[in-house]
Chains A and B, each alone.
Chain A
């Protein structure tokens, strides 16, 4: 075990044997793990923004040198900007985009402090939760590409984001609901104060009583007719479609109370119930607003995540390729798609053959072979040579756009449990209406003057809103609590499915393991023993900044080296103890060694990575490298086992590395060498045994399993496809939210059950009281409201961090302190 430290920037653990890069931050020399992290650290320090490191609550994301976009200039094109930039009247522009890499408020501060002072930037605002960024800048003073360059230099990658029509509609709906809520709330308070005066009968003067009733009528009417309008509309819809929703008794109660009060006000006889009606409207509107806000947030987050079509396309004009915005493409254009890039529009293949990944559409992870003239759909990824296409459909006409339209609709669907509550509610509503009718009839026979009042009490007190609220409130709170901890639920049913999970299946590469690389095996070919070979290797790699170099940081004494030389992408060369050594790829090392070494049987197998060491005297050693477990992986395993879940690894990797990882994490069941279809079969076998499986994965090859599992979680850093097929997405680098999610889902279902029990028990108690005329309508309204508040309050408990084991709390909650979990490796 080598001494380790944490990178000051990204928080990842690394060995200190290889001297870390030191950067002075805030007067202290701090250790940084890799060149990229140190570069950002220096940049931050040079601009006097050291406070970023003090304010931040989470370590910044790991920075890979390759992830930074080199060329942003194509974003200056009007055609590219058309999608996410709007021009203002004064000639300035506003852009909306997402920023990858924003973790906490300190990142926001860093961005705002670094970008706002740039000449030409008028305003930049970042939402730390959704990472949605609004940039307002004067385009004649600074081009957008330059601002994007600054952002990416700080380690944040801008992703243009289009606010689609659905998003705009949701925003309007939210604003509308907020206005209704304000009218209901303010109106309710006024009417209440008049009602208190009326109940107390403080004024014996009948004129004042009359006056207060009139004023109440004046205030309550807009509350009922404006704020309460959605209930009437939905009730009417329910009656027309012959499906009794909760809104039918609600509308009856509100409408009945209001019209009876209006009648009584003008005739000057009987009671007025304006207070009950307005209170009812306010509480229901408030509850629905909260529920809607949560749903909208999840929807817009997932919409933002599922952008697949690239913003930029390469259009061919003759032999010249020009970069244009995807929106500028027209049917009939010739386009070029580079290997690894996504296809920007539907098109017909002009090359003889091509291979593309269409898994986005079909779930098949193997590339599909295409022949000349075949259709290639937008969003599929070119898996081979550069391909040429003739565009056949663009934008909203593409197959992908039509499908994602469908899935957006599906995402708006209610979760299963909510649907169940709705079904129960339908019978409940029918029963309530019958009871209210019977009560009215009964009282009409006994005391006709009280019949309406008592029937109204029954309607109000039984209002199933505790029932209707109980479940959505819990879902809303749980969803936003999990989002705060770094897990986005994309499918509404995910939470319930998670609570029923009995078995968790992990993918290995990229899921249980991160980018960290460790030395797994040493094979010797020459005179050196293992210690000597490792000593030379670590000496060679001690100067290298390549991630592989970290695997070689050893505790053995470092030998003197000189003439250090790096060949990009191949390896390093240096003189150690008077002899020239090379470490790196086979070809690179082989070029130094005399040709007589045989390479038979040394070809790369599986996804094991090999590094070779050799001198002029021949090959000396081969090192097999494997990945290290992701930070927090062991804690997740521990917590999931504590929940009584069965843990499994299903990996496409070879048996050796899978077994090693399973043992180091303490996972008893593992399956290696699985192809995507094997994984799916394995999953089906699990499900056939009656297990409910949660799949955690990241790769394109995991996507069929992610789609097939009862519920699935994709790594946020994984492929877009995996994120698209999974029910939920991890936002950060840590696996801990997986454990949070399963724990939260179980608590959530517990609370749902408590709430439903309460709602039913309350009604059993309240209905007889109301029907026998022991409750006045205002008491009924109060009881109903108190019951709803209790249910909502109970749901809100979920938002607080669970009483986790004391030592773990710091690392589970998203904003506590810099993560300091040491990994026993």
Chain B
């Protein structure tokens, strides 16, 4: 059971990493526009989409 003395701090390190990553993402503007990316996925870059 003593394993949790190591695992929980490890989990907290991961938590810190996740928060740091999120902070970086907001600073670099990735969350500024939440509408366009949703549309973009249905628009093909190819001039001829498949099924044509």
Q: In the bound complex, do residue B15 and residue A112 qualify as a contact, i.e. CB atoms below 8 Å apart?
A: no
Partner of A48, one of B8, B35, B36, B47: B47
**Whole-angstrom distance from the CB of B5 to the nearest CB of chain A?**
7
Q: Is the CB of B47 within 8 A of A108?
A: no
A182 at the interface (CB under 8 A from B): yes
Are B36 and A179 in contact (CB-based, < 8 A)? no
Contact status of A190 and B11, CB under 8 A, knowing A127-B33, A175-B27, A183-B19 = yes
> Are A182 and B19 in contact (CB-based, < 8 A)?
yes
C-alpha gap A178/B31 in the complex (Å): 9
Nearest Cβ distance between residue B35 and chain A, in whole angstroms? 5
Residues of A within 8 A of B31 (CB): 174-175, 178
Closest to A113 in B: B47
Knowing A190-B11, A190-B12, say if A205 contacts B19 (CB, 8 Å). no
Give the residues from 9 to 34 in chain B that come closer than 8 angstroms, CB to CB, to chain A.
9, 11-12, 15, 18-19, 22-23, 26-27, 31-33
Q: Which of A126, A171, A182 contacts B22 (CB 8 A)?
A: A182
* Contact assessment for A218 and B12 in the assembled complex, using a CB-CB cutoff below 8 Å: yes
Give the residues in chain B near A112, CB-CB below 8 Å: 43
A211: Cβ under 8 A from any B Cβ: yes
The reply to whether A49 and B26 form a contact with Cβ atoms under 8 Å apart is no
Inter-chain CA distance A48–B4, complex, in Å, is 62
CB-nearest residue of chain A to B5: A211
Interface status of A410 (Cβ within 8 A of chain B): no
Question: B43 is contacted by which of A108, A183, A203, A208 (Cβ under 8 Å)?
Answer: A108
B12 touches A105 (CB 8 A): no
A273 → B minimal CB distance (Å): 20
Cβ–Cβ contact B39 & A128, under 8 A: yes
Cross-chain contact of B42 among A105, A130, A211 (Cβ < 8 A): A105
Expressed in whole angstroms, the minimum distance between the Cβ of A226 and any Cβ of chain B is 10
A142 in the interface (beta carbon within 8 A)? no
Q: Give the CA-CA distance A187 to B11 in the complex, in Å.
A: 12
Instruction: Name the interface residues of A218-246: CB closer than 8 Å to any CB of B.
Output: 218-219
Which A residues are CB-close (under 8 A) to B1? 203, 205, 208
Q: Is the CB of A128 within 8 A of B35?
A: yes
Q: How many residues of A contact B (CB 8 A)?
A: 33
> From A109, which residue of chain B is reached at the shortest CB distance?
B43
B8 touches A215 (CB 8 A): yes
Query: Is the pair B47, A49 in contact by a Cβ cutoff of 8 Å?
Result: yes
Partner of B39, one of A108, A130, A215: A108
| Neighbouring B residues of A51 by C-beta, 8 Å | 44, 47-49
Return chain A residues, CB-CB under 8 Å to B39.
105, 108, 128
- The CA-CA distance from A49 to B12 in the complex, in Å, is 51
- A55 touches B (CB below 8 Å): yes
Docked pose: A571 CA to B19 CA in angstroms:
70
Q: Which B residues lie within 8 Å of A113 (CB)?
A: 47
For B43, what are the chain A residues with a Cβ–Cβ distance below 8 Å?
Answer: 55, 105-106, 108-109, 112
Shortest distance between the CB of A260 and any CB in chain B (Å): 23
In the bound complex, do residue B49 and residue A219 qualify as a contact, i.e. CB atoms below 8 Å apart? no
A190→B15 contact, CB < 8 A: yes
Contact of A208 among B4, B9, B26, B35 (CB under 8 A): B4
Residue A668 interfacial (CB < 8 Å): no
Docked-complex contact B35 and A129, CB < 8 angstroms? yes
Give the residues in chain B near A108, CB-CB below 8 Å: 36, 39-40, 43
Cα-based distance from A218 to B4 in the complex (angstroms): 16
A26 to chain B, nearest CB (A): 9
- A175-200, CB under 8 A of B: which get 1 and which 0? 10011001100110010000000000
**B5–A128 CB distance below 8 A:** no
Nearest chain A residue, comparing its CB with the CB of B8: A215
The answer, yes or no, to whether A125 is at the interface (CB within 8 Å) is yes
B15 to chain A, nearest CB (A): 6
**Known interface pairs A48-B47, A127-B33. Does A175 touch B12 (Cβ–Cβ under 8 Å)?**
no
B35 / chain A contacts, CB cutoff of 8 Å: 127-130
Given the known inter-chain contacts A127-B36, A178-B31, A205-B1, please indicate yes or no for A186 contacting B26, CB distance below 8 A. no
Distance in angstroms from A107 CB to nearest chain B CB is 10
CB distance from B20 to the nearest CB of A (A): 10
CB of A125 within 8 A of CB of B36, answer: yes
CB distance from A248 to the nearest CB of B (A): 29
Q: In whole Å, how far is B31's beta carbon from the nearest beta carbon of chain A?
A: 6
Q: Please pick, from A171, A186, A219, the residue contacting B32 in the complex, using a CB distance under 8 A.
A: A171
Please measure, in the bound complex, the distance between the C-alpha atom of A128 and the C-alpha atom of B38, giving whole angstroms: 11
CA distance A128 to B5 in the complex (A): 51
Contact present for A175 and B26 (CB under 8 Å): yes
**Chain A residues with Cβ under 8 A from B44's Cβ?**
51, 109
Q: In whole angstroms, what is the CA distance A125 to B11 when docked? A: 38
Query: Which residues of A are in contact with B by a Cβ distance under 8 Å?
Result: 48-49, 51, 55, 105-106, 108-109, 112-113, 125-130, 171, 174-175, 178-179, 182-183, 186-187, 190, 203, 205, 208, 211, 215, 218-219
Interface, chain B (partner A; CB < 8 A): 1, 4-5, 8-9, 11-12, 15, 18-19, 22-23, 26-27, 31-33, 35-36, 39-40, 42-44, 47-49
- Can you name 23 A-B residue pairings with CB atoms under 8 Å? A48-B47, A51-B44, A55-B43, A105-B42, A108-B36, A108-B39, A108-B40, A112-B43, A128-B36, A129-B35, A174-B32, A175-B31, A182-B23, A182-B26, A186-B15, A203-B1, A208-B4, A211-B4, A215-B9, A215-B12, A218-B12, A219-B12, A219-B15
Sorted from nearest, which 8 A-B pairs have the closest CB atoms?
A: A109-B43, A105-B39, A182-B22, A175-B26, A127-B36, A129-B35, A48-B47, A178-B26
Q: A108-B36, A126-B36, A175-B26 are in contact. List 13 more A-B contacts (CB 8 A).
A: A108-B40, A109-B43, A128-B36, A128-B39, A171-B32, A179-B26, A182-B26, A186-B19, A190-B12, A203-B1, A205-B1, A218-B12, A219-B15
